[in-house]
């Protein structure tokens, strides 16, 4: 490395290396692995998330809708609720299994730095924990053990960091969970009123005590999920519209980049002009390449 170049070991950064250069180093690796963080707490939280969504689906379908005497009431609400549940769980999977923007490990080599063609006096920043050159707005995650581009936070409920590449799916996850929570609470309220009118006879295939316990737990779950995801959804949209991650806001970091605010920020995260693709968690899913990679490696490669 030329004496005119300086390399600093820091944990926070305002580097000169842009995100396109950092992305180029990880583009090859992304096609060759399935991203999955092997964190015990995160895996337990992800399992709990799935269990609670499936529990809500069970109560709504088998306790409320199937015993209903109104055919169209049961069909319409069943289709809507189950579609929202599929979209929510799909968004959760995309958030959990998508590389959030990890900077390649150990790329702070003499050969790589010479390839950057830095001008004399320019400063680049190296993370001492993962030995990588940190692009602008990247932060090190102690759980993922990687530097993540535009890292917002690490969420144990999706067992992954929320960063540059998967923030869109995290926003969709919080939105769909908030929607099914609202739907479940509405159905529960209607079911309670109906059951009270008929004195809990013929309003469910389960006994009244079991029905009451299942619905009370569903209401508690719905209120908890709705409050949490609604707040997170609002926070994420606010961060996107202000082009400021949660870490940057908490650390009160002054922007050294050109901000993309409001609709520019939304387009940069969701891609292109507003369309139905924005709310589709399956958009951009390359299943064929994923299956080819898995069959060639005889199983998914877990990246930590």
Structure tokens at 179: 């929607």
The pLDDT of residue 290: 52
Tell me the C-alpha distance between 210 and 205, whole Å. Answer: 10
Query: Residues of the chain whose pLDDT is less than 50?
Result: 1-32, 293-304
Q: What is the pLDDT of residues 82-121, one digit of tens each?
A: 999 999 999 999 999 999 999 888 777 777 777 777 777 7
| Strand pairing report for 146-149 and 132-133 | unpaired
The answer to whether the beta carbons of residues 36 and 303 sit under 8 Å apart is yes
Q: Answer yes or no: is 223 within a domain.
A: yes
Q: Answer yes or no: is 110 within a domain.
A: no
The pLDDT of residue 12: 35
User: Using the 8-state DSSP alphabet, how is residue 279 labeled?
Assistant: G
Catalytic residue among 141, 144, 147, 155: 155
Taking each helix axis as running N to C, give the angle between helix 167-197 and helix 71-97, from 0 to 180 degrees, rounded to the nearest 10: 150
The pLDDT of residue 291: 52
Number of domains in the chain: 1
146 alpha-carbon distance from chain centroid: 17
Q: Answer yes or no: is 131 within a domain.
A: no
The pLDDT of residue 16: 36
Q: Answer yes or no: is 73 within a domain.
A: yes
Residue of 11, 20, 177, 27 whose CA lies nearest to 95: 177
Q: Answer yes or no: is 296 within a domain.
A: no
Q: Answer yes or no: is 238 within a domain.
A: yes
Q: Answer yes or no: is 113 within a domain.
A: no
Residues spanned by the domain of 260: 40-102+153-270
DSSP assignments along 225-262, one per residue: HHHHHHHHHHHHHHHHHHT--HHHHHTTPPP-S----T
Q: Answer yes or no: is 123 within a domain.
A: no
Active-site annotation holds for 155: yes
Tell me the C-alpha distance between 120 and 8, whole Å. Answer: 15
The pLDDT of residue 213: 94
């Amino acid at each position: 490395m030329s004496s005119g170049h300086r390399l600093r070991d820091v944990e926070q950064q305002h580097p000169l290396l842009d995100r396109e250069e950092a992305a180029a180093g990880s583009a090859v690796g992304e096609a060759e692995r399935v991203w999955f963080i092997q964190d015990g707490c995160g895996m337990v939280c992800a399992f709990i998330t799935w269990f609670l969504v499936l529990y809500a689906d069970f109560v709504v379908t088998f306790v409320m809708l199937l015993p209903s005497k109104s055919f169209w009431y049961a069909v319409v609400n069943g289709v809507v609720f189950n579609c929202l549940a599929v979209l929510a769980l799909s968004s959760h999977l995309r958030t959990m299994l998508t590389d959030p923007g990890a900077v390649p490990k150990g790329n702070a080599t003499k050969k790589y730095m010479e390839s950057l063609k830095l001008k004399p006096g320019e400063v680049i920043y190296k993370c001492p924990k993962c030995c990588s050159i940190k692009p602008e707005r990247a932060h090190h995650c102690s759980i993922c053990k990687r530097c993540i581009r535009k890292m917002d936070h690490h969420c144990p409920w999706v067992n992954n960091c929320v960063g540059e590449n998967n923030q869109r799916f995290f926003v969709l996850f919080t939105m769909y969970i908030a929607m099914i929570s609202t739907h479940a609470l509405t159905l529960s309220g209607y079911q309670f009123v109906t059951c009270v009118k008929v004195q809990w006879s013929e309003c469910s295939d389960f006994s009244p005590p079991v029905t009451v316990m299942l619905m009370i737990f569903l209401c508690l779950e719905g209120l908890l999920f709705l409050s949490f995801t609604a707040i997170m959804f609002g926070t994420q949209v606010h961060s996107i519209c202000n082009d400021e991650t949660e870490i940057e806001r908490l650390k009160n970091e002054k922007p050294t980049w050109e901000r993309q605010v409001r609709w520019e920020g939304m387009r940069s995260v969701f891609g292109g002009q507003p369309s139905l693709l924005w709310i589709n968690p399956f958009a951009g899913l390359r299943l064929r390449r994923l299956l080819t990679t898995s069959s060639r490696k005889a199983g998914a490669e877990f990246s930590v």
